[in-house]
Copies of this chain bind each other. A is one copy, B any other.
Amino acid sequence: MGEVKPNEEEESNAFLQLAECELKVDAIEKDVAQYRLDKMKSVYQERDGLVNKIPEFWKIVLSQHTDFANYIRASDFTYVDCIQDVKVEWDNVDEFKIIIKFDGIKDDFEAQTVTKQFKRQKIIDDTKSKEDSDSDDDDDELEKLISEPVDIKWPKKYEDICPESIQDKKSPEGKKKYRQGMKSLFGWFRWTGLKPGKEFPHGDSFAELIVDDLYPYCVKYYTEAHRDLEDENDDSDSESEGELDLSDDEGNENEPKRRKL
């Protein structure tokens, strides 16, 4: 790269200090997350009890959520509809469990409650070698979500794709079935985060979706889903935006998706 000019030195100093700054930011985010959990704990418990009294609460939340469906197979929704309850319990910011209670389906799927435990852990980022990185603003340490595989009884209908019942895992057909199973909702319960590419894909994001989005905002999602369902049954075109000035111009749709409510 030749000699280092004063400007370059100032710039690379800025990068170093920025990296330190980000560590401070991360530490504050952790502290804030813990503060939030402590404050929310009793309200969440109260809410868990109330939500249980509302029929099909989780079925409505999960089937209407935009992102949730992207993680699992369309056919899994038969069993998503069996989900009677979803609970998240935090030991602390970095350790939590997701507890899912399934109703059964006669002759196909056994009613059960499954608890999956998660942990955030610092790991060394081995996806890039030391030589590759020519900047010092990364300390090569990543935080990663990991979990333990947990037993769940698969539906009878999924017997041909359930890893445990597949005898032949070598033939193209056997491999295909195996993959289909691993990518199903049931495959996620085996996810550990330690064998990337060999497990349920994006198992960490799926867990985070539940923990950081679906569970905290479940009532808002339920209300929204309920309104959408009512709107579908509603003929009146009372939408406020329909009659207004800018909306008949097709030039620029400006309709980005919003995640939070």
Contact = CB atoms under 8 A, between A and B. Distances in A.
A55 B7 CA distance: 10
A245 B257 CA distance: 32
A259 B128 CA distance: 23
Given A53-B10, A179-B249, A251-B180, A240 B15 contact: no
A254 B22 contact: no
B240 A127 contact: yes
A237 to B, nearest CB: 13
Contacts of A252: 73, 180, 183, 201
A39 interface: yes
A198 interface: yes
A98 to B, nearest CB: 18
A32 interface: yes
A110 interface: no
A232 interface: no
A4 interface: no
Contacts of A105: none
A14 B47 CA distance: 9
Contact of A197 (B50, B137, B246, B256): B246
A79 B233 CA distance: 45
A54 B197 contact: no
B71 A254 contact: yes
A24 interface: yes
Contacts of A107: none
Contact of A244 (B196, B241, B256): B196
A197 B10 contact: no
A136 interface: no
Nearest to A199: B246
A259 B256 contact: no
A205 B245 contact: no
Interface string A182-198: 11000000000000111
Kindly name the residue among A11, A13, A209, A245 whose own CB sees the greatest number of chain B CB atoms within 10 A: A245
Kindly name the residue among A32, A245, A246 whose own CB sees the greatest number of chain B CB atoms within 10 A: A246
Contact of A241 (B11, B138, B197): B197
A91 interface: no
Nearest to A127: B240
B219 A22 contact: yes
